[in-house]
């Protein structure tokens, strides 16, 4: 897992490294400056560089970088956007060093005369809207169209939530230090950050003390991560001596009358995600189509006008067979669907993925989440989450991680909040942020595929806190492969399904998981 930090967490790591571990702040600043110059020389036109600096330590990083560029023979000039009387001690020292080396300092530069701008105005500490002189400066720099390299965070972006603080500067690349900042990955901040490059500058990334404690343990409140390739080792190796029951049995409860597409996508995704067997509990009218689309699945069915006792009996038989259930895609919100969701939460005791109409039904009786014995993964999009929480979509979009922390604090579930940047809060564990995927995945049936993948991973026995973030990442990888082959505009849910085997092949090639005797 790769750690993602907020502004406050980054400050604590900084302070810990300096105060507890004894690394001088100027050493960290020099290493940050070196990282900036290396990335700039590699990715930007160094014909003439303007380094725009604030008064804080972000400005100190910029001043030090300007010196290194100047000494390397790059035509470099510093523009001080802040006030000298507001310098931090480290920035004051860097300014004096730059003066002694004769680094050119300009008073009123025309940004259009430069080939590259280095943005070192505000760092992770920005907490209020950009106004006045700074607002005008950011707009002027942005309007110039000159490529920008941002130091740590683009000026005007909230490093914790990705909000635009009044106005902000668009960067082609952001060089950030030690850990990725959440605000660089969440929208709208991600639209301003460009390519995000994380560089090691000597900050103690885990905050480990000499006594072995940790500032940010995996289960501490506010911890955020993103999945890396190595995390697929959570999945157990395929047993070459296994049978279809070995790899898990998934019950997909989906599809009201003539709504068989959602059931197909979820069921096939479960099989492709590794489940050994899948049954689809669906409305009787869907039987013929589903048998043709997915002959690998078993098909117990019910009628929408089924008596409640008969419906419970049929559902109970299907649940008893399964290791895991996934419910909701295409179910509708009628009486039969309501009874099914209620029974699954109240009686099944099996791990459950709840999606789509299942979530809409759940929003009417959320108390079931506090009473259920089933480990649950919820997979709402923004509209469904709004119905579950009563919060407007705008509030969810402004702070998705915070809203999930609050919701999962009230209800013992793992929740996947689907959006351009999908955020997953695990039950009793950290938040995961997904940065893969593409706009083509915003297509009918894509969420049903994710539901099925999550169920397939649950069937592997890894638990909901690992199955959920892994499923989101896996789904996004498949979407990216599909978009590469088909293009984003024409991407279909079936294309995502078709890409799943290629994801497995890539992961198996690079990271094993081939199974043992």
- Binding site residues for K(+), as ranges? 58, 119, 155
Beta bridge partners of 79: 52, 106
- CB 283 within 8 Å of CB 255: yes
The number of residues making up the chain comes to: 517
Three-state secondary structure call for residue 88? coil
What is the spatial distance between Cα 427 and Cα 466, in angstroms, rounded to a whole number?
Answer: 10
Q: List the binding residues.
A: 57-61, 119, 123-129, 134, 152, 155, 262, 330, 381, 418-422, 447-448
Q: Which residue has the tokens 């419910």?
A: 327
What is the spatial distance between Cα 196 and Cα 176, in angstroms, rounded to a whole number?
Answer: 7
- Residue closest to 36 by CA, chosen among 107, 99, 101, 123: 123
- Contacts with 288 (C-beta within 8 Å, 6 or more apart), sequence order: none
Cis peptide before 305 (omega within 30 of 0): no
Sign (positive/negative) of CA torsion 432, 437, 443, 445?
negative
Three-state secondary structure call for residue 462? coil
- Contacts with 76 (C-beta within 8 Å, 6 or more apart), sequence order: 48, 49, 50, 51, 66, 69, 70, 103, 104
Q: What is the maximum span of the chain, computed from C-alpha positions, in angstroms?
A: 88
Q: List the binding residues for (6S)-NADPHX.
A: 57-61, 123-129, 134, 152, 262, 330, 381, 448
Q: Beta strand pairing status for 423-425 and 431-433? A: antiparallel
What is the spatial distance between Cα 484 and Cα 478, in angstroms, rounded to a whole number?
Answer: 10
Burial of 260 (0-12, 13-18, 19+ CB in 10 A): buried
Angle between helix 260-272 and 446-459 (nearest 10)? 40
What is the spatial distance between Cα 422 and Cα 377, in angstroms, rounded to a whole number?
Answer: 14
Three-state secondary structure call for residue 381? strand
For 313, the enclosing helix (H) or strand (E) is helix 308-321
- Residue closest to 451 by CA, chosen among 264, 207, 266, 261: 266
- CB 491 within 8 Å of CB 481: no
What is the spatial distance between Cα 227 and Cα 476, in angstroms, rounded to a whole number?
Answer: 11
Q: Which residue has the tokens 């920035």?
A: 91
Q: List the binding residues for AMP.
A: 418-422, 447
- Residue closest to 150 by CA, chosen among 179, 182, 116: 116
């Amino acid at each position: 897992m790769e750690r993602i930090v907020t502004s406050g967490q980054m400050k604590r790591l900084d302070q810990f490294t300096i105060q507890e571990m004894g690394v001088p702040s100027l050493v960290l600043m020099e290493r940050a400056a070196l990282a900036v110059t290396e990335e700039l020389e590699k990715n930007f036109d160094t014909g003439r560089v303007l380094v725009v600096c604030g008064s804080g330590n972000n400005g100190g990083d910029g001043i030090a970088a300007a010196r290194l560029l100047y000494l390397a023979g790059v035509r470099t000039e510093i523009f001080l956007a802040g006030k000298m009387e507001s310098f931090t001690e480290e920035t004051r020292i860097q300014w004096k060093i730059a003066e002694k080396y004769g680094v050119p300092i300009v008073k009123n530069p025309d940004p259009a005369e430069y080939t590259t701008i280095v943005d070192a105005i505000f760092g992770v500490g920005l907490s209020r809207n950009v106004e006045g002189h700074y607002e005008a400066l950011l707009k002027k720099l942005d309007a110039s169209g000159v490529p920008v390299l941002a130091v740590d965070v683009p000026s005007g972006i909230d490093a914790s939530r990705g909000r635009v603080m009044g106005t902000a500067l668009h960067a082609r690349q952001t060089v950030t230090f030690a850990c990725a900042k959440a605000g660089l990955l969440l929208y709208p901040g991600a639209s301003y950050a460009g390519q995000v490059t994380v560089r090691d500058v000597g900050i103690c990334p885990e905050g480990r003390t000499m006594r072995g404690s940790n500032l940010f343990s995996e289960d501490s409140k506010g911890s955020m991560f993103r999945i890396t390739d190595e995390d697929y080792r959570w999945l157990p190796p395929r047993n070459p001596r296994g049978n279809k029951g070995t790899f898990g049995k998934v019950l997909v409860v989906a599809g009201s009358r003539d709504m068989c597409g959602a059931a197909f996508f979820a069921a096939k995704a479960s099989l492709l995600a590794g489940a050994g067997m899948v049954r689809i509990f669906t409305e009787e009218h869907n039987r013929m189509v589903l048998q043709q689309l997915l002959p690998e699945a078993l098909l117990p069915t019910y009628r929408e006008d089924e008596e409640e006792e008969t419906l419970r009996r049929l559902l109970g038989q299907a649940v008893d067979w399964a290791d895991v259930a996934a419910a909701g895609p295409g179910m509708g919100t009628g009486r039969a669907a309501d009874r099914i969701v209620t029974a699954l939460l109240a009686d099944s005791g099996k791990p459950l993925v709840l999606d789509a109409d299942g979530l809409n039904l759940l929003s009417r009786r959320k108390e079931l989440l506090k009473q259920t014995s089933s480990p649950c993964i919820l997979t709402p999009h923004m509209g469904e989450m709004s119905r579950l929480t009563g919060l407007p979509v705008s509030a969810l979009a402004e702070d998705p991680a915070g809203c999930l922390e609050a919701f999962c604090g009230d209800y013992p579930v793992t929740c996947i909040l689907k959006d351009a940047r999908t955020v997953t809060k695990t039950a009793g564990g950290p938040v995961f942020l997904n940065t893969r995927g593409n706009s083509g995945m915003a297509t009918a049936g894509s969420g049903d595929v994710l539901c099925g993948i999550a169920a397939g991973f649950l069937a592997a026995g890894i638990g909901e806190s690992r199955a959920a973030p892994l499923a989101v990442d896996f789904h996004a990888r498949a979407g990216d492969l599909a978009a590469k082959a088909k293009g984003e505009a024409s991407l279909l849910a079936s294309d995502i399904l078709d890409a799943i085997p290629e994801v497995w092949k890539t992961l198996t090639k690079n990271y094993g998981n081939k199974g043992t005797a």
